[in-house]
Homo-oligomer: A and B are copies of this chain.
Amino acid sequence: METDEKIILVTNDDGITAPGIHALIDAVRPLGKVVVVAPDSPQSGKGHAITIGVPLRLNQVDQFEGIEAWQCSGTPVDCVKLARDKILHRKPDICVSGINHGANHSINIIYSGTMSAAMEAAIEGIPSIGFSYLDYSFAADFTLSKQVAYDVTKKLLESDVSPNTLFNVNIPVIADTLEFKGIKICRQANAKYVEAFDERRDPHGKKYYWLTGEFKNMDPGEDTDVWALENNYASLVPVQFDLTHYRMKEEMEKTWKL
């Protein structure tokens, strides 16, 4: 290992056995020394959950493409915290999360374990990127996603940016890669899910509910991630974790008496 080799922490939320994380490892491996710390089970929709009430387990995985890999019993955010404190004993140069099986554009960022892992890294001062491919299938073709992951990771490693930098990158499903238009810097689309719980009865006659919902984009803008993906671009949204609504703060300071 050369002394100036970059340490690349790889994690995800679909779990260490998901094809997407192997695609991501393939993509970034030419850029530095890869260390994998990922959940031992699927953690989709875990948001920024951390594990408080039960202790965490961490086990090294043998024969993982010849690289150092660990599986963790906790959430994606736990993985990043444990990687920093108990495995690397230093900050990695970059953290990449994914490649998620399914979209994390627009409001999905709030629910996404993939993006929460990346955000946790950015909070800790590690430049970080979450990658998501709009194909849910575990048999999906990651060729284009790998190219995008390599390009964006290389660019971020070479850039002089704040250590708190965080990107949300989504890759469209395109039948003919010649139609791919490139990577577009976007804002988060104003979108939401309209819930429709699926109500059923168990064998004992008691009700239970499955969460389902329909995605609804309410944003007509052509500068959003949803627009970009619908128009054969990969979307790149720079993300912040200061959630202060500054415009409203200013308005309230003028008009609210408390």
Q: Which residues of A contact B (CB under 8 A)?
A: 42, 44-53, 55-58, 77-78, 81-82, 84-86, 107, 109-111, 116, 119, 123-124, 151-152, 155, 159, 161, 165-166, 168, 182-188, 190, 192, 195-197, 199-200, 206-211, 236-246, 248-249, 252-253, 256, 258
Name the distance in Å between A16's Cβ and chain B's nearest Cβ: 17
Structural contact, A258 and B50, CB atoms closer than 8 A: no
Q: Give me 27 A-to-B residue pairs in the complex whose CB atoms sit less than 8 angstroms apart, sorted by A's number.
A: A42-B53, A45-B49, A45-B52, A46-B49, A47-B49, A47-B77, A50-B111, A52-B211, A55-B210, A56-B197, A57-B209, A77-B111, A78-B211, A81-B197, A85-B195, A86-B197, A109-B243, A110-B241, A123-B192, A124-B192, A152-B258, A165-B248, A166-B245, A184-B258, A187-B246, A188-B243, A239-B245
The contact of A244 among B44, B119, B184, B238, by CB within 8 Å, is B238
Structural contact, A51 and B246, CB atoms closer than 8 A: no
Alpha-carbon gap, A58 to B208, bound state (A): 7
Residues A85 and B197 in contact in the complex (CB < 8 Å), given A244-B187, A245-B239: yes
